[in-house]
Structure 1
């Protein structure tokens, strides 16, 4: 089939069309093109002379069109650990959020500081001002499904007019009526008995998806469906039951918040569909998070993602911009994206509102679907690969950086943004937990308390890491490197699951490294502390 390159107005469209045409005719294979790009490392020039793009990584498990680069292979653990001991910072690649097409404009406004910060796209074009930024939405429109979030939780009220039945409590009667209308759905309710004895009112919250997969929409149509079921079930019964949905929302956060409000409004006199009392906020949160979560089958639109790349304070900003540009061009080739760099010197946002952070970082908004129709993977292996790629690109531009895994140092798991709320935005953001358990997780992460893995696979990984740190510490020449490696050995050896039964004596290796730490701890510990915290500052 013949086609004309002149039909495409943009250069990147012509290049893509030519490549796909050659592939369809068998002139080149994906691997041939990959080797060509690796060998020549082409750099594309944007209209303003800016450089963008980079060569793709090769090897490893790679599938075309997923937005994932072909890895050269995992960087050896020994090399990574030696780099960290020598002072390299950790590669920080964080998923800030997902969003639907309707949020694209707001996300771009955020990373561009409402048009005051220059934004660069995947072609190397520099976008300035609201007009150029607003045009991104129309360019990406064919990639955005603009789906609405699923309706997972519904709020309802039922007004029941009937006399009290002998031997039947109001809340038990209310549970039976709600079950008649909602069927096998999970719900929680509170009952208010009318003083005049004419009946009672029910206020409740319910999972909109039934055990059989039927999902109510919590609108007028759904209200009519439930009302009809109630009328059929109460045929021949004196009195009436009037049902209506009063609201709906998405996800466990919405459900937890609404159920807690219900508990507070009725002073703990709330029960679930099984008659179990929900007496406080903790029980309300646990019910939604632990029991209702699996029934929701919640869905939020994921048309775009917000990615944050961070480096420690003092990192050369222009070099980090180049590294981020290469990372995005390599890892998300074929996808639309825009990115901007924020640093303390150029950030127009005030410090007290979260701007002018001491560490340099890049915000990137990326379309999840490529022009070829393939979606980006956001699995744990994918994130590990992203950090590997980011570290490679940083080293290429003179920034000492390594990919790190929390099992490398027996580090605690991260806390999610839903588990904390910001208290102070100046410098490094201070948070507080949204619950007692969330506060413990936050405190554990901020204090960098050791956390030994539990699964067999991760335990084996951790044992290998422990051996590597021990070897590096034994052979290191500089005191600071020896102390850094020794501190990591202590974290592994001192943990009960890693080395001994709880309460047992410390192993000789622990005593050896404790002695080393006592000698070099002041210098090495200070160096390690700065590196540890600065590298993981939130953007």
Structure 2
């Protein structure tokens, strides 16, 4: 059997490859321009503890989540406000015009029309001012969801912790929507949080999220959920051996309205696309098998047990995980 140090090294390397995350991430604080004294105008995101694989135990935790079919978190950007008119409209929407309580970055509760007006003024005049209309996004609208049955309070607490860590120095407001508390005529059955973040921070840096940032956000939210006692995972789609993509929102809306889909979905995937998907799945399974073999070679009985569970899980078929169903309203 290999020694523990060698086993851990292989887990980190192959785990990083499988879950599409860097094994280490070195960053430095932004420095001011020596001529203007200003900080950089764009921030692509800062690393969070959950956004990178730094130790073998982190890989083991992810593999256990695969074995258990742990619920998959969902984090998405649902748009953004260009100017205070759109920002106010969205705050009205997620608060149901003051019926649902909002919570700010300072932990202050906002409820009722009067509080919403005061919050609007804070966003308009606080920090870097926001015009009524703008050509660029002055806020990002983010949705954090978990499947039906997840404790709503844990989702809210995890969203609060995630936002405090990821958007420190930014003004933001969040609202928890649940089936029982949402006054909407068609409330979603799964708990979710609407999080609206002012794009420009108090130090002048502007959010500019990319695909890698979204995965890091998913990792951060999943980590926060686990800290509140909720099993959650944020594995990339390919690592879940889920080769099919979900329906586009426009198609979901057409189905909801009972409209004919016309040509949607009538054309089969091309042979090239099918072949590429098969090659990707083969490669992913190869990496899982290497990790399973590595764990089996460990002197630790718990590693050997995990290796056997992982091998059995791979034989069961695709790793279909539990994800939120329906629309976030």
Q: TM-score, normalised by structure 2?
A: 0.69
Q: CA deviation at 1:117?
A: 0.6
CA contact (8 A) 1:432 1:439 kept: no
SS in 1 for 2:169: coil
The whole-number CA distance in structure 1 between the counterparts of 2:239 and 2:247 is 18
* Aligned equivalent of 2:19: none
SS in 2 for 1:402: coil
Instruction: Pick the aligned partner of 2:165 from 330, 333, 341.
Output: 330
Change (3 A) 1:114 1:410: same
Q: CA deviation at 1:464?
A: 2.2
* Aligned equivalent of 1:485: 314
CA contact (8 A) 1:469 1:485 kept: no
Change (3 A) 1:130 1:435: farther
Aligned length: 274
Q: Which residues of 2 match residues 446-461 of structure 1 at below 5 A?
A: 452=277
CA contact (8 A) 2:254 2:261 kept: no
Change (3 A) 1:70 1:423: same
Q: TM-score, normalised by structure 1?
A: 0.44
State yes or no: 1:89 paired with 2:75. no
SS in 2 for 1:401: coil
SS in 1 for 2:180: coil
Instruction: Pick the aligned partner of 1:370 from 180, 183, 201.
Output: 201
The whole-number CA distance in structure 2 between the counterparts of 1:144 and 1:462 is 49
The whole-number CA distance in structure 1 between the counterparts of 2:275 and 2:122 is 47
SS in 1 for 2:277: coil
The whole-number CA distance in structure 2 between the counterparts of 1:125 and 1:385 is 27
The whole-number CA distance in structure 2 between the counterparts of 1:467 and 1:109 is 51
Instruction: Pick the aligned partner of 2:222 from 391, 400, 404.
Output: 391
Q: Which residues of 2 match residues 13-52 of structure 1 at below 5 A?
A: none
Change (3 A) 1:433 1:119: farther
Q: CA deviation at 1:83?
A: 1.4
State yes or no: 1:342 paired with 2:174. no
The whole-number CA distance in structure 1 between the counterparts of 2:278 and 2:94 is 36
* Aligned equivalent of 2:113: 130
Q: Which residues of 2 match residues 35-434 of structure 1 at below 5 A?
A: 60-61=26-27, 64=30, 66=43, 68-72=45-49, 74-75=52-53, 76-101=58-83, 102-141=85-124, 142-148=128-134, 301-351=136-186, 355=187, 357-411=188-242, 412-418=244-250, 420-424=252-256
The whole-number CA distance in structure 2 between the counterparts of 1:337 and 1:422 is 32
CA contact (8 A) 2:44 2:213 kept: no
CA contact (8 A) 1:313 1:360 kept: yes
The whole-number CA distance in structure 2 between the counterparts of 1:477 and 1:144 is 52
CA contact (8 A) 1:309 1:362 kept: yes
CA contact (8 A) 1:472 1:485 kept: no
Provide the alpha-carbon RMSD of the alignment.
Answer: 3.8
Change (3 A) 1:70 1:116: same
Q: CA deviation at 1:80?
A: 1.0
The whole-number CA distance in structure 2 between the counterparts of 1:63 and 1:536 is 39
CA contact (8 A) 1:104 1:304 kept: yes
Higher Rg of the two aligned structures: 1
Change (3 A) 1:112 1:436: same
Q: Deviations over 1:183-233 (max 9, x none)?
A: xxxxxxxxxxxxxxxxxxxxxxxxxxxxxxxxxxxxxxxxxxxxxxxxxxx
Change (3 A) 1:67 1:338: farther
Note the residue ranges of structure 1 that are not aligned, 5 or more in a row: 1-57, 150-300, 442-448, 492-527
Change (3 A) 1:437 1:95: same
Between 1 and 2, higher relative CO (CA 8 Å, sep ≥ 6) is seen in 2
The whole-number CA distance in structure 2 between the counterparts of 1:116 and 1:361 is 16
Q: Deviations over 1:423-447 (max 9, x none)?
A: 338xxxx997575259979xxxxxx
* Aligned equivalent of 2:17: none
- Bigger drift between 411-420 and 342-351 goes to 411-420
Change (3 A) 1:68 1:85: same
- Give the structure with the higher percent strand: 1
The whole-number CA distance in structure 2 between the counterparts of 1:309 and 1:403 is 12
Change (3 A) 1:484 1:460: closer
The whole-number CA distance in structure 1 between the counterparts of 2:61 and 2:307 is 16
